[in-house]
Structure 1
């Protein structure tokens, strides 16, 4: 039944040995194709896929279903980073959208379908809801012709043109690149070497490790990259998730650099070294560090609910320099209004080249200027019934004290967020796609942060005294 398929903040995903079936892929592709054909009959739709087993087969099936609606479908002739599909759509005036079959940053046994609309972005919440409503209980038999196209090469050429190739070439950079077995493999090393960077790639071919890795550029999944950086004596380790729309990094000492610090560094680089300006859009779970940096750069910032879709909606209003979320997904709407992990890798290399500093030195400089904080997230796996009770209760929860601290602000924008006088904060947010309550906290010290995380976990379990 159609009510079995529910979209998260970035499309639909499911286990390959369960709900991710040919039948359900046909139903999802049919719904999107019908909507596109209704609004833009005869338009072009781009289809891509990542490196996961079966992704190419499902993408070809989805492409033929969409083509059955009379649309011109261009299927990537090889695995492709999600941002390359966004770029192709955004730079083709005849394109009305696209889809990518990808497991993204989820465990190896998952696959999913991400959608993109005519500007290359993920589209509004209303678009996702329209596709959901249009899903038919029965899979269609209609199929149409498709053409295969190289959408990778033009995209990579465009990326190279966005950075100072001479500055990078003269810097003599040496980096480790970790695609986490995903769609950035081979492509990122090729363009970095084209720019004169020495690159050691890990996890660039499938082996037994692919089954055990969650391709999300956060700890503990970056451990191999940390070790490789030290072993190679590299200036940094640069990481993309499974479909390469997110970025992570490791400094020259093998220390993980979280997404908040990367966002802050790239934002500063765009303003100071590229002369850019504009508003900055951040997710509700973003660090106070990024807000301090935005203020110092005279960039007005806007806070949105968790999920890049909400950042995209703000980008559509215009005047946005950069948008980002805590998980390493950053976008520059001048490029296209979506995340691009490959572009962020190039910008970090350009930043190191222009300043002559290692990634660790840049982070230390950032913390000296804006203060060091400790940030963490806990995922509490609870029974669905408990989560629904919490979701119902959250709008009415407003305690006078949390972990012995008095909140100065309480927000129910997306879950429950407490802010305190010293800019520390706590956020509880039930996931919309899995039986998990996410608890985020940030404070000046690890001890204070953990006190807040403990208190937030108590609230989530209904144990707040």
Structure 2
């Protein structure tokens, strides 16, 4: 069986961050083949030699992740490289170690998507692979003809890294914020199945806060910071009523997206968390996808705002362009809250090295520290940005071709678009950078975007009030359902 052809016919594909698909289609020959393709790319351009053949392999807490990580290690060994098994740890902790020591890496994770799916995130020594690298991996993968899984694949013994990756990741933030930085705070930690559930507790307590572990799970829970489950919101309000908390914090499965609620249990949207983080770090340029709140420009908090398509590779590209143009402090973030640090940050004698990959811990700590430094609640800090009320959700199990056809018709058929937007007074402007983001004449925003990593259609809205945003979101989902089912 030629795996290049099989990949076209399967659920496996590169999306906004890495390769993802059904576990049944990844755990086996495909995991081996895609990893081999990554290894061959590293060998062809000299990156493998520069790292002395060493490649880090980490994983999240999904039931399928150890098996897939084992196959990744086997594929690397088969390619003549040296796999280093880093175990279960946050994606940014793996990437941080790779950046510090010039090592490529593979993270086995499906991030926030359901447990029947999983994925691979590939990293060069300089950080996440870009779209050109994805194309190279796909081209090399198409040349492979992997028909069987070698008998020894499940028995390959990987080496261990010569450093404590988790300790170094924690030290990064303890050194920058300093002991006592969060003194006096009581913070609930929604642990669920986040691979960072213990790390967060340890860091908060080391910085002087009292951490209250909550909701630890024994099975994987797909917490999506961009489309919260109703049960997560219920739990947050329940915990807020049961405990006296200044905040509740959490992450998605691999800890590259934060989830933050104020003391009442009300969650802050990810783009607001990103804005708070960027201001706390003194950013003069922020880079963020088109899905982030349109008030970022109007707030006046940042000298320059660069908009991109959805996906960390695009944000990383935008950050690099800003740095080349002479920006002093560049912070990137996505509407889901993942923050990427594009520049070194200096605060007095304390230094924070750039980490151009999504990280949940940095925005959690910045948001909490802003509250301490300003003597304000998270709610008060957020209100200062003047964000429009926003909401988002998704239609699940919508074939990608149907989502794409709907969005294409909206973009190309002006009469159809005008008919759809008539309840909002008509069309004032459109942005087709990623999906179609429409600003209505009444100032409201509706954005339809096919997901890059699952059979879903995302819907984002902005309105004057939270109540109106929820009403508008419901309307947008109904419109999408009508034209994609």
Residue 402 of structure 2, aligned match among 380, 386, 406: 386
1:194-246 deviation per Cα after TM superposition (whole angstroms, max 9, x unaligned): 11110011234x43xx35x3222334234323322331211100111110000
1:159 positional shift: 1.9
Q: Aligned pair 1:33/2:43, yes or no?
A: no
Distance 1:23 1:423 in 2: 50
Asked if structure 2 preserves the Cα contact closer than 8 Å seen for 1:100 and 1:114, the reply is yes
Q: Aligned pair 1:84/2:73, yes or no?
A: no
Q: Aligned pair 1:117/2:124, yes or no?
A: yes
* SS class of match (2:437): strand
Distance 2:70 2:455 in 1: 32
1:276-325 deviation per Cα after TM superposition (whole angstroms, max 9, x unaligned): x33111111111233333xx124211111111221111122223621111
Output aligned runs, 1:55-454, within 5 Å: 55-76=65-86, 78-93=87-102, 95=103, 97-120=104-127, 122-135=128-141, 136-138=144-146, 141=150, 146-149=158-161, 150-168=164-182, 171-204=183-216, 206-207=217-218, 210=219, 213-217=221-225, 218-220=228-230, 221-271=232-282, 277-293=283-299, 296-317=300-321, 318=323, 319=327, 321-334=330-343, 335-364=354-383, 366=384, 370=386, 372-379=388-395, 381-383=397-399, 386-398=402-414, 399-400=417-418, 402=421, 403-420=423-440, 423-446=443-466, 448-449=468-469, 452-453=472-473
1:395 positional shift: 3.6
1:400 positional shift: 4.2
Distance 1:446 1:6, change over 3 A: same
Between 1:158-167 and 1:43-52, the stretch displaced more is 158-167
TM-score for both structures, normalised by structure 2: 0.84
Between the two proteins, the alignment pairs up a number of residues equal to 443
1:461 positional shift: 5.4
Asked if structure 1 preserves the Cα contact closer than 8 Å seen for 2:388 and 2:463, the reply is no
1:157 positional shift: 0.9
1:362 positional shift: 2.3
Distance 1:390 1:189 in 2: 44
Distance 2:44 2:333 in 1: 32
* SS class of match (2:447): strand
Distance 1:382 1:74 in 2: 38
Q: What stretches of structure 1 of length at least 5 have no aligned partner? A: 272-276
Distance 1:408 1:160, change over 3 A: same
TM-score for both structures, normalised by structure 1: 0.87
Q: What residue in structure 1 maps to residue 346 of structure 2?
A: none
Distance 1:266 1:219 in 2: 24
Asked if structure 1 preserves the Cα contact closer than 8 Å seen for 2:26 and 2:118, the reply is yes
Distance 1:6 1:237, change over 3 A: same
Asked if structure 2 preserves the Cα contact closer than 8 Å seen for 1:226 and 1:256, the reply is no
Distance 1:306 1:397, change over 3 A: farther
1:411-453 deviation per Cα after TM superposition (whole angstroms, max 9, x unaligned): 2221212124564211111223333222211111346535654
Distance 1:222 1:48 in 2: 30
Distance 2:173 2:74 in 1: 30
1:382-434 deviation per Cα after TM superposition (whole angstroms, max 9, x unaligned): 45553353254344133446124232221222121212456421111122333
* SS class of match (1:316): helix
Asked if structure 2 preserves the Cα contact closer than 8 Å seen for 1:2 and 1:137, the reply is no
1:372 positional shift: 4.7
Asked if structure 2 preserves the Cα contact closer than 8 Å seen for 1:177 and 1:199, the reply is yes
Distance 1:227 1:454 in 2: 25
Between 1:192-201 and 1:257-266, the stretch displaced more is 257-266
CA RMSD of aligned residues (A): 2.6
Q: What stretches of structure 2 of length at least 5 have no aligned partner? A: 1-5, 344-353
